[in-house]
Amino acid sequence: MQRYYWAARIVYLMNHIMMQSFREYFFPVKDCSVMIDEDFCRVGQQLDLVADDAFERKPQLLLKAFLVLQQHPEVNDMSAKLQRQIWSSRHRIDAQFRRNPVNKWLFLQILQQPTGIVHSFRRMTMLSILPQYIPVFRKIVGQMQHDLFHVYTVDQHTLMVIRNIRRFTMPEHAQEYPLASRLIADMDQHWLLYVAALFHDIAKGRGGNHSTLGALEVRKFARDHNLDPQDRALVEFLVEHHLTMSAFAQKRDLSEPSVIQEFADIVGTERRLTALYLLTVADIRGTSPKVWNAWKGKLLEDLYHYTLTALGSNVFDRQSVLTQRKNDAIALVRFSGISDEDRDRFWNTLDVAYFLRHEARDIAWHTRLLYRMLPQVGAEVRARPTENNEGIQVMVYTPDRPDLFEQICSYFYEQRIDILDARIHTTRQGYALDSFVVDSAAIDADIRSNVPLIEHGLRNRLNEPLPTQNEPLTLKSNRYVVGANIRRSRTFPLVPLIELLPDENSQYWRLSITAMDSPGILYALANTFKRHQINLQMAKVMTLGDRVEDIFILGGSALDNPRTQMQFKRDLLTAINNLTAQK
């Protein structure tokens, strides 16, 4: 496939140059050429060479051409002649060319320009200048990524990450990236992020840890280009840890001080934290249009703010976060006209973990809905669109019971609704207060009209008892149509990975599951939890294309015995493999 992409790129380049040549021939520019400097001129709105042998006499012009294009906004493209000459002269970029200090300076200048970064790097890639200047980049041009959530080849993904970082600096995108835009505006030498983006996946396909190998490559680049030692250390850190922040945000319990402190120890400084946040957001958004959503962004923002607090005081103060969150929720609740007595009566049924794992707006929403409902006999289900209208947030409040999570998952499975996030909580009075973020193609069409349907349907389901048999779940294989995503998953099989370890405080167990996404996978897992009498404390559900990486915080006597623990893991693996076999 890599050879195919190389061939397709050459065909595209030839077609582009031919069409431009035809356009220049049939519709010649009447304006006289305007000299830009002794080597380049402007013909109409296109950049051209003054002398045909310029690259032979001055090879450094192969890089300067892109810099001139950036520095002159009146020029929006290269002439067909210039592109042909760059392509035919690309072999002049050799080891001696790379050692030349002038060429090193020119390349860094391209990175530091206020505009034209993305267009320059796309042209440099298309004309094989970038692969020639950075030989290791050549290995990833056209390289496929053998997973189902990266929809771009490695080189195109890299360019998408650079594009996303550039967008952080543009005022017209500030509303789309509010925190990132604010942080990059205050960051000195933000062009270093382009260097990190250029190298963050450059070692993919070699075997081994591509982050560690990429860090070695960017260290060599930074040393050869005489970057300041602090800047050199920053880009090396970013490449080595470009996956760390997303792993902590999406797989760890951010309400635990030890988790925040562990991440703060890795980051070390506010500058590194800010740069890593910006690179992480750009990286996730550069994998696929479907991977990013608002709740993933919120997890990263929470981790950023918590870590910033820990770096400022050398410790993550759990009590200050709790106090601030309660104060914010109190203001919202009072605005709704609820008395302090009614509020406190409901809040006294909740523990510290609830307030740390829910935002103030969610706490206020729960309070407004539930402060009158003590005690509650049946199930109460409420739903609303998420803040950015990317899905529906569903709240379930009912007396807790072992089959509750399974019933909820069964309803969503039958309605073809995907669970994006799950926060499971049990109050001091034995009530389940669970919150889900859900999404589906049907919901996307009309979010608000689906809210009452979900409320009514899920409420009725929870008031109906599940069958009492304690047997493995068998899902109907024809419940979902076998679409292109499932056919692709057959081509890129993923061996399920199950890891069960004690959590940070050794009070519960942390179950990590990586597998191919399958309709009903959460339903099947919930059925396995029930059969082994496992209590679910928290769930973080993450879907990356057609792969799921789910985290569950669990409790139960079956996990304390090595033999029953092994049987539990075997049953989980069997449940996942049965779903895959139905494809």
pLDDT of residue 142: 81
User: What's the average model confidence in pLDDT over 325-342?
Assistant: 91
pLDDT bucket at 479, cuts 50 / 70 / 90: very low
- Separation between Cα atoms, residue 198 and residue 128, nearest integer Å: 15
Distances (CA, A) of 283 to 157, 163, 289, 544: 8, 10, 12, 13
- Separation between Cα atoms, residue 11 and residue 107, nearest integer Å: 27
Across the strands, what pairs with 77?
Answer: 46
Which position has the token pair 């899920």?
458
- Lowest-pLDDT choice from 31-45, 105-119, 238-252, 271-285: 31-45
The strand pair at 34-35 and 535-540 is best described as: unpaired
pLDDT of residue 148: 53
pLDDT bucket at 235, cuts 50 / 70 / 90: very high
Specify the amino acid at residue 542. Answer: M
pLDDT of residue 477: 46
CB 232 within 8 A of CB 199: no
pLDDT at residue 261 tops 70: yes
Specify the amino acid at residue 39. Answer: D
Q: Which structure tokens are listed for 128? A: 């094989």
User: What's the average model confidence in pLDDT over 313-323?
Assistant: 74
- Lowest-pLDDT choice from 39-53, 181-195, 246-260: 246-260
pLDDT of residue 485: 47
User: What's the average model confidence in pLDDT over 442-456?
Assistant: 78
CB 29 within 8 A of CB 44: yes
pLDDT of residue 315: 65
The pairs formed by 52-55 with CB atoms below 8 angstroms and a separation of 24 or more are: 52/85, 54/85, 55/85, 55/86, 55/89, 55/92
User: What's the average model confidence in pLDDT over 192-212?
Assistant: 92
pLDDT at residue 184 tops 90: yes
- Separation between Cα atoms, residue 296 and residue 285, nearest integer Å: 10
pLDDT of residue 476: 55
- Lowest-pLDDT choice from 96-105, 528-537, 565-574: 528-537
Task: Kindly tell me the burial class for residue 389, based on how many C-beta atoms sit within 10 Å of its own C-beta (0-12, 13-18, 19 or more).
Answer: exposed
pLDDT: which is higher, 336 or 281? 281
Which tens digits make up the pLDDT trace of 82-115? 999 999 999 999 999 999 999 999 999 999 999 9
- Separation between Cα atoms, residue 514 and residue 308, nearest integer Å: 30
pLDDT at residue 480 tops 70: no
Distances (CA, A) of 557 to 353, 536, 562, 565: 22, 13, 11, 9
pLDDT at residue 185 tops 90: yes
How many CA atoms lie less than 13 Å away from 322 in the CB half-sphere?
Answer: 15
User: What CATH number has the domain spanning 1-133?
Assistant: 1.10.110.30
Q: Which structure tokens are listed for 195? A: 């260097």
pLDDT bucket at 487, cuts 50 / 70 / 90: very low
pLDDT of residue 275: 97
Task: Kindly tell me the burial class for residue 353, based on how many C-beta atoms sit within 10 Å of its own C-beta (0-12, 13-18, 19 or more).
Answer: middle
pLDDT bucket at 331, cuts 50 / 70 / 90: very high
User: What's the average model confidence in pLDDT over 469-482?
Assistant: 54
pLDDT bucket at 580, cuts 50 / 70 / 90: low
- Separation between Cα atoms, residue 466 and residue 469, nearest integer Å: 9
pLDDT of residue 375: 65
How is residue 495 annotated by DSSP? -
pLDDT: which is higher, 291 or 497? 497
Q: Which structure tokens are listed for 410? A: 């069964």
How many CA atoms lie less than 13 Å away from 271 in the CB half-sphere?
Answer: 12
pLDDT at residue 396 tops 90: yes
pLDDT of residue 371: 87
Highest average pLDDT, of 34-43, 267-276, 493-502, comes from: 267-276
Q: Which structure tokens are listed for 270? A: 């506010």
pLDDT bucket at 19, cuts 50 / 70 / 90: confident
pLDDT bucket at 328, cuts 50 / 70 / 90: very high
- Lowest-pLDDT choice from 221-230, 451-460, 463-472: 463-472
pLDDT of residue 90: 92
Which tens digits make up the pLDDT trace of 376-395? 667 899 999 887 777 889 99
Highest average pLDDT, of 100-114, 306-320, 455-469, comes from: 100-114
Average pLDDT over the chain reads: 86
CB 410 within 8 A of CB 420: no
